[in-house]
Amino acid sequence: MLDPTLLRGHVEEVAKALARRGFSLDAKSVQALDQQRKSVQIKIESLRNERNVLSRAIGMARREGRAATAEQERAQHVGQELAEREGELQQLLTRWEELVLALPNLPQPDVPDGKDERDNVCLRQWGEPRVFPFPPKDHVEIGERLGILDFAAATRLAGGRFVVLRGEGARLERALIQFMLDIHTREHGYEEIAPPFLANAQSLLGTGQLPKFEEDLFALRNDPFYLIPTAEVPLTNLLRDEIVADLPRRFCAYTPCFRREAGAAGRDTRGMIRQHQFDKVELVQIVRPEESAQALEMLTTHAEEILQRLELPYRVMFLCAGDMGFAAARTYDLEVWLPSQQCYREISSCSNFESFQARRLQLRYRDAEGKPQLAHTLNGSALAVGRTLVALLENHQEVDGRIRIPEALRPYLGGQAFLGVRQR
């Protein structure tokens, strides 16, 4: 969440920065609420001081054998008023907390202005989209022809926006996961974590999914848990409420992810692009503030390397203020080329949250003077496994129906160079 001191002392500047994201903050209402809190706190302190004075006077009167009727009556009245004022303060603090938790992060100053994805800026592009000597098929047609993607079975089992991977499809997904984990742990220095796939509300509050995005989450009916929407949640919460002695820390994890993907006016209802359950390998870094800018560049290149080794054309997009996620201060999206759609589609989002999550998590380190300071948190997908599988099927299809396996992935498939051509 935002720094309360910044919000109280510079609310107009905060409102102006949030307006870049399309978020309207009523600065006058914020100031009025804070002034009301201050007024009540001052009154509470005055009443507490008066209560202490009366208590001493009553005590002295008793020791001297005198009556203190007036003081006792006044003390009773002060006690009642104090209880009322403390209740009022608690209500004001609850309103303040609700306000602060609903505010998104501030975009960094050089984040491009804009409302949506049309205003994002392309930073770089890798690889050239392939020119096919035949009309390229989409992943649904490829997967169903090869017998590796079974959407009909998934619909019977769970409903829409699910898929069953069969045979070589399941094996390919497992190979992609192992390949990604090996690169990030062996070459990039991340610690592999196998976290729970359930999280409590406090964990989701810490990373910013709650309270704003509760409707997007799958909650267990009779237990206080949610299915995780991303491994970002458990990985970042590993150091919640800690003062970390050694930074930076780098974590990675494979997990299934669960989200209510309603889509935009029916967009992406076909295939594996937008599903309720999908696999992902996630990267999280926890660093000192002065290191977070460089850490984001590093993390992004780690995700890019997976796409390069899989020989998948992509571009890196610098998201405008209006298109960033709730908790992000700066975001780079990796978009992979999909021949069937003749466009680039998001496959990874790499973000610097600065201290936004750390403040909620009370995730700190000690500075050179030994004082606890808030760390900065970052995360990125490296990569979304389902979309990687989609991109691989579409970009590496051959005229005879085979799917070429990139050289880097073949050791994870026993040296296999192509997926089969089995007809259904």
- 174 carries an active-site annotation: no
DSSP for 342-381, please give it. TEEEEEEEEEEEETHHHHHHT-EEE-TTS-EEE-EEEEEE
User: In 216-335, where does DSSP find H-type helix?
Assistant: 232-237, 292-309
Quick one: 73 exposed, middle or buried, by C-beta within 10 A (0-12, 13-18, 19+)? exposed
- 291 carries an active-site annotation: no
- 259 carries an active-site annotation: yes
Q: What's the CA gap between 206 and 204, in Å, rounded? A: 5
Q: Which two tokens stand for residue 349?
A: 């989002």
Non-local (6+) Cβ contacts of 320 within 8 A are 111, 112, 113, 114, 115, 116, 119, 120, 121
Q: Partners of 137 in the beta sheet? A: none
- How many other CB atoms are found less than 10 A from the CB of residue 99? 18
Give residue 325's region: left, alpha or beta (phi > 0; psi -120 to 50): beta
DSSP for 142-181, please give it. HHHHHT-EEHHHHHHHT-SS--EE-THHHHHHHHHHHHHH
- 349 carries an active-site annotation: yes
DSSP state of 101: H
Place of tokens 């102006």: 16
Non-local (6+) Cβ contacts of 382 within 8 A are 180, 184, 252, 281, 282, 283, 299, 302, 303, 306, 348
Catalytic residue among 348, 349, 351, 355: 349
Bond into 109 cis (ω within 30): no
Q: What's the CA gap between 358 and 339, in Å, rounded? A: 40
Catalytic residue among 20, 37, 259, 360: 259
Whether 409 contacts 176, CB under 8 Å: yes
Q: Which two tokens stand for residue 299?
A: 């993390």
Whether 410 contacts 416, CB under 8 Å: yes
- 45 carries an active-site annotation: no
Catalytic residue among 21, 85, 274, 345: 274
Catalytic residue among 141, 346, 404, 410: 346
Annotated catalytic residues are: 259, 274, 346, 349, 387
